[in-house]
Each structure stands twice: as C-alpha cells, then as structure tokens.
Amino acid sequence: MYARKRIPVLTGLIAATALALTALSSPAQASSFQDDDPPTEQITIKVATVNGSGCAPGTAAVSVSPDNTAFTVTYSEYLAQAGGNSDPTDFRKNCQLNLEVHVPQGFTYAIATADYRGFAHLEPGATGMQQALYYFQGMSETHTSKHQLSAPASDNWQYTDETDVDQLVYKPCGEERNFNINTELRVGAGDDPAKKSFVAMDSTDGAINTIFNFSWKKCPV
C-alpha cells in the first residue's frame, strides 16, 4: 500500500465537467415536474451487484445521508498502477455497481453532482485518468465524464461532475430501474519504467469515497 502524503492539493484542480446526460424521460413528462425538497421518508440503497478489478467482493459499500440529499460509495481497494514491480494488468482498474434505489412513493430522482477524491503519484512522463459512466438500467442513454491527471505529481486530487438543470436525467416515474455506476482508473508508466506510478481514490480515513448528490422531483399525479 502506498504512503499517503499530506501536502497541498494539486495546483489548479481540473474544472468540473458537466455530465451532459441525455434526458431519459419524455419532454412532456420532464416539463410537468416541479422542483421539490427531498422526501422526509428515508430512502434505501442496496448494492445489487458489484463487478470489476477495482472492487472485489466486500470492498464496496453504499451509505445514504440522513437528509436524503446524497449517497456515498466507499471502496477499500481501488488502485491502478504501472511501472516498477507492478503487475502488467494493474494499469487499469474498474468497478461497476448496480444499485437498487428505493424512494418514497410519488418521488423520482436524478444525480445532480458527483464528487471524486483521490491520491496520485505520477512519475515524470506518466499518465493518469479517472472516468465515470452513469445510466439507469434498461436505458440506452449514457454519458462518460473523463478527467486527466497531470504528471509529475504526488498529491491529492479532486473532481466534481455537475449536471446543468435542463440536462438532469430523472428515473421514469412508476418504474423500478436500478442505477448503474461504472468507474475506471488508468495509469501509464513514466519515462523511467523502473519507477512506479499509481492513481487511487482515497480520503483521510484511507477509504475511497465518491459522493453522489440527488436532485428530487415529485411525480405527476
């Protein structure tokens, strides 16, 4: 495992990239929605399936904020590396989560923002990348947000993906559709292949946290 450094955050954090998802609901349905506060009844989120080299069974969990405005995905072993004595297959790690999101009757939701935090050690000439893809099960509309990390670096990184209000993608009312999150980390070795470079998503407690913030609407009666 790498040694975490508590040094200033990478200079010039990459600007937020819009998730620019194509609307999953029809224009007529979308226009009938009214912005609303989060439901007071607690929502529940269950990990239906988890697959990928970055999230072995038992290394990913989901928790919901008490005010129903966000949920956090926590990983414990999600690190891509290249160079040095790393395995040649470790340059790419991914994790696909299929989530069962149960919301109070009469409400629907969209993902308004997603916050990613991590740590990267990139030797001169190395490359690093983090990307994510979101979609509702059974829907063909998807969008990938991608962020490149600059080398050389040995520091924390953070990205926030934000969706414009008119591009928010809401789960169709009255339908049970799981929410899928597919994330990926990639690393390319630096100029000196004997030196290891890596990218991980980590926090001060050593876990890997990704926070997804909800946008809520009431369904048409």
The residue extents of the domains of the chain are: 44-218
Q: What value, to the nearest 5°, has the Cα angle with vertex 12 and ends 165 and 158?
A: 60
pLDDT in tens, 89-135: 999 999 998 988 888 888 888 888 888 888 999 999 999 999 988 88
C-alpha to C-alpha distances, 123 to 151, 202, 212, 216, nearest whole angstrom: 6, 19, 31, 43
Q: Is the pLDDT of residue 191 over 90?
A: yes
Instruction: Over range 186-209, report the average pLDDT.
Output: 77
Whole-prediction pTM value?
A: 0.75
pLDDT for 170 beyond 50: yes
The neighbour count for residue 108, using CB atoms within 10 Å, is: 21
> Got the DSSP string for 46-83?
EEEEEESTTS-TTSEEEEE-TTSSEEEEEESS-EEEES
Task: Please tell me the distance from the alpha carbon of residue 37 to that of residue 32, in angstroms, as a whole number.
Answer: 16
DSSP for residue 193: T
pLDDT in tens, 158-168: 888 887 776 67
| Predicted pLDDT of residue 36 | 67
Architecture of the domain made up of 44-218: Sandwich (2.60)
Give the pLDDT score at 141.
66
| CA 203 – CA 110 distance, rounded (Å) | 25
147 pLDDT higher than 90: yes
Nearest to 210 by CA among 73, 13, 62: 73
User: In this predicted model, what pLDDT tens digit does every residue of 27-67 receive, in sequence order?
Assistant: 333 333 335 677 888 888 888 888 999 988 888 888 888 88
